[in-house]
Amino acid sequence: MNIQSPEHASSSKDSFPPLSRSSLSLLCDSGRISPSAWSQALDFCGFRPDGKAWLTYWRQVFLLGGVLFFLAGIICFIAWNWDDMQPFARMTLVGVIVASTGIGAVAVGPDSRSGQALLLACGVAMGPLLAVFGQTYQTGAELWELFRVWTVLLVALALAGRQTGLWFAAWLSGNVFIALWLGRNLTSPFDAFSQLFAIPEWLVAIACAIFLWEWAAQRAVRKGAQNWLRSRWFPRLLFLDLAARTSCYLIEGILGSYRWADTWQLWLPHQVVPYFAVALAGLAWWWYRKKEPDLFMLATLLGAVAAVLLAVLAEAELFFDLGVVAAFLFWGLLVTGLTAGLAKMLLHLQKAMSAEENEKHAPMVSLPSFFGRARSGVSWQLLWENLQAHGEALRDEPAPDVKEPYSPWYIKLLLALGGWLAAVLFMCFLGLLLFETLNISSHEELTIFIVSVPVLLLGRTMLAGGKLFSRHFGFALAIAGTSGIAIALFLGLDSVMTACFVLAALLAAISVFMRNVAYTFLSAIGIVGCVAQGISSLIYASVRHGFADSAMLDMALLLPPVWWVLLSLGLACFCLQEKRWRGSMRGQTADAWFFGAYTGMLMIQIWSLGLSYGLRAILDLPLWGSGGMGLGAAAGVTVLILFLTKKHSLTARVAGMASVPLLFALGWYLPGATLALLGLVMARQMGNAVMQGAVLVYFFAYMIFYYYNLAMPFSAKSTYLVTSGLVLLLLALVLRVWQTKSSIEEAGRA
């Protein structure tokens, strides 16, 4: 069968979402294209990284990490040796960093990736330079004045450097400057940050910044210049910040947390905020629906409006006169209905905006170079023509199991939050109904279990329905029922270890029964956590009962690394064998297991850090559950390296094998860093930008936490940071030379 014509494809019943790797996977999972066509499409669009893309990716990762580590080390070194260094030496050291990074950016070109990193490092280093100057020569400047000058310098550098990262740094510095300026008369500078959320002027300032950015971007498009202004992540971040501040401001005023008339203000009265919010909502809706279509902005706006609406209804005490039990029930239904209505609107907007984009035959927006660029100028029409040339077909209708079109992650997150809120309300309703209204005082665990099972079954029935309200109501009931079963298990079983393992088995069975992607994702997180906590309880029980020298304890201590190795290898194999899961609806379920399992590993690692520093004395829980996670992650990265370098040059294979011992050493000393490395490799291989961003945020937060709690003198810590930065920069340089040499060899063969 031949493929549809591009005209028929673009005007088909189901409009296509923006061309991305995720949308191609959805088409394959829904049965509209075959797995072979899916693989061909990935190669044609450039979503599958080759050797050159991997070199570019790791060079940029090492460059970014090296710059940050090196700057942090220099700052720590100056702080440690402040009293022993001459004023000129302090200024010289920081000044050399600012000058060298600035000159280096000009030398390599500010438009190149290396030049942008150096320019960003130059802008960041200006802050410590101002601080050293002020402390050395006692200029008398206050802290807010330092950030004011730093903000001005960053803005000037951003105008000259033309990169979004510098504007982001200027925005952060500007926030701190305004907060400190507002609180300059307060006892502590940190008290000033609360004032930043309580003045209308700053809301207006953020709105003006968004307007100027969008105006400059539109102007650049008409002139065909300054493509960096077309970056969407920064205006989206600004708009998310503006919507969150405005909605929180309105909610606090609605619920009476403080009285606007009695609150400190600058020039604008606080009563202007509701009018500002209405004007902002109308203008944003018109702009991002008609002038610059952006579904993220519309989803953020609708989410903020929904939150304010719930606050208004809560202040009006809706359903409160029916009693506490009935109020929780009807509020759960209200939140479910509001979430379903929000989903209806967003899906309608997504479909309409996708159809408009297809009519314009808009080219695909390439991924940022940090993720590896896709081919520029590729559209759905060109893709259909390419697949037709290879004899692939596009079916007219999706598989019967497909109920919803592809939705971006932010829509799924917004709807999941509504489902969780409704589930909490339903759980409160069931708890009050059982233990307050019905006065049940014996066999509580059995009662909770008996009530939770029908709730879970009802949720499963409604999840299979065709209506949006039915599915969201069923999702909330499924969460509430599962939570009730978990509570009943931990109340009814004397052993925490047994309860954890039984709950893990039940979650696996229930997720298969529910056949819902979101529920499967949550179940995967729960299973990973339950198994880890069950193993911890087993080891803890062995130690507590005096089996410290027994073979049983030795075997128990092997369970954590064995579990993490098996889990990491499973994730690596899924990443490498993704094609086997495509072509049916089980592909989305497999994705949910994959992302849920890795998210569970991240959460266990963060939880273990919290127990190690500060929470252990409060919770008194064992810490063995995360043991061996770094070694398991190293094993997963090793498998990925071996398979990904199999078809590449001998140099790539040797370099990959040489890194294996370093991986296991890193997994032993820095398990969280190795876990992040596993996530970076899998995210790049699968082309998932959301996973990539989440792992990067986790990695930098983990490294900050690690260095902050590192048990060594400050001087050694600064040396450690500088050395780490230099090693990463050296690796980036090696990869740069390697990439240049490979490009020359390819040009010679051509």
Domain residues for the domain of 603 are: 516-709
* pLDDT one-digit tens code per residue, 288-330: 988 888 889 999 999 999 999 999 999 888 888 888 888 888 9
Residues contacting residue 750 through CB under 8 Å, at least 6 positions apart? none
- pLDDT at residue 281 is higher than 70: yes
Residue type, 649: S
> Is the pLDDT confidence value at 729 over 90?
no
Q: Single out the residue of 688, 690, 692 nearest to residue 677, CA to CA.
A: 692
Residue with more model confidence, 678 or 612: 678
For the CA atoms of the chain, what is the radius of gyration?
28
- How much is the pLDDT for 261? 52
Percent of the chain whose predicted confidence (pLDDT) is above 70: 79
Phi and psi at residue 630, to the nearest 5°: -65, -40
Q: Give pLDDT, residue 3.
A: 40
Q: What is the pLDDT of residue 546?
A: 55
Tens digit of each residue's pLDDT (9 = 90 or more) over 654-664: 888 888 898 89
How many domains is the chain partitioned into structurally? Answer: 1
pLDDT at residue 303, as a whole number? 92
How far is the C-alpha of 86 from the C-alpha of 360, rounded, in Å?
64
Q: What is the pLDDT of residues 669-718, one digit of tens each?
A: 888 889 999 999 998 888 887 888 889 888 888 887 887 777 777 667 77
Alpha-helical segments (H) within 224-361: 233-254, 272-286, 295-315, 324-360
What is the tens place of the pLDDT at every residue in 56-112? 888 888 888 888 888 777 777 766 666 666 667 777 777 888 888 888 888 877 777
**Using one digit for the tens of pLDDT, what is the confidence trace for 189-241?**
556 555 555 678 888 888 998 998 888 888 877 776 556 777 788 899 999 99
- The sign one gets for the Cα dihedral 510, 515, 516, 522 is positive
Instruction: Let me know if residue 613 belongs to a domain.
Output: yes
Q: 3-state DSSP call for residue 438?
A: coil
Per-residue pLDDT, averaged over 18-45, amounts to 79
**Which of 242-246, 271-275, 380-384 has the lowest average pLDDT?**
380-384
Residue 735 — pLDDT band, cuts 50, 70, 90?
confident
Residue 750 confidence (pLDDT)? 53
Residue type, 250: L
pLDDT of residue 568: 93
- Give yes or no for a contact between 418 and 346, defined as CB atoms under 8 angstroms apart: no
pLDDT, mean of residues 491-499: 85
Is residue 199 in a domain? no
Give the pLDDT of residue 634. 92
pLDDT of residue 547: 52
Average pLDDT over residues 544-569: 75
Confidence class of residue 363 from pLDDT cuts 50, 70 and 90?
very low
281 or 233: which leads in pLDDT: 281
As a whole number, mean pLDDT of residues 158-167 equals 83
Distance CA(362)–CA(19), nearest Å, equals 10
> Using DSSP, how many helices (H) and how many strands (E) does the chain show?
27, 0
In 3D, which of 444, 479, 442, 440 has the Cα closest to residue 460? 479
Confidence check: pLDDT of 536 > 80: yes
- Nearest CA-CA partner of 372 in 620, 687, 714, 32: 687
- Which pLDDT does position 371 carry in this prediction? 53
Q: What is the model's pLDDT at position 434?
A: 78
Lowest mean pLDDT among 15-19, 405-409, 505-509, 607-611: 15-19
728 part of a folded domain: no
User: Domain for residue 502, yes or no?
Assistant: no
In a domain, 542, yes or no: yes
Whether 608 is in a domain gets the answer yes
pTM of the predicted model, to two decimals? Answer: 0.80
pLDDT at 564: 92
Distance CA 616, CA 718 (A): 29
In a domain, 496, yes or no: no
Could you give the count of Cα atoms lying within 13 Å of 152 in the half-sphere of its Cβ? 6
Does position 144 have pLDDT exceeding 80, yes or no?
no
Provide the mean pLDDT of the chain.
Answer: 79
Instruction: Quote the pLDDT of residue 135.
Output: 66
Query: In the structure, what pLDDT confidence band is assigned to residue 468 with cuts at 50, 70 and 90?
Result: confident
Q: How many residues does the chain have?
A: 750
What pLDDT does residue 472 have? 81
Residue 528 lies inside a defined structural domain of this protein: yes
As a whole number, mean pLDDT of residues 405-412 equals: 73
pLDDT score, position 78: 67
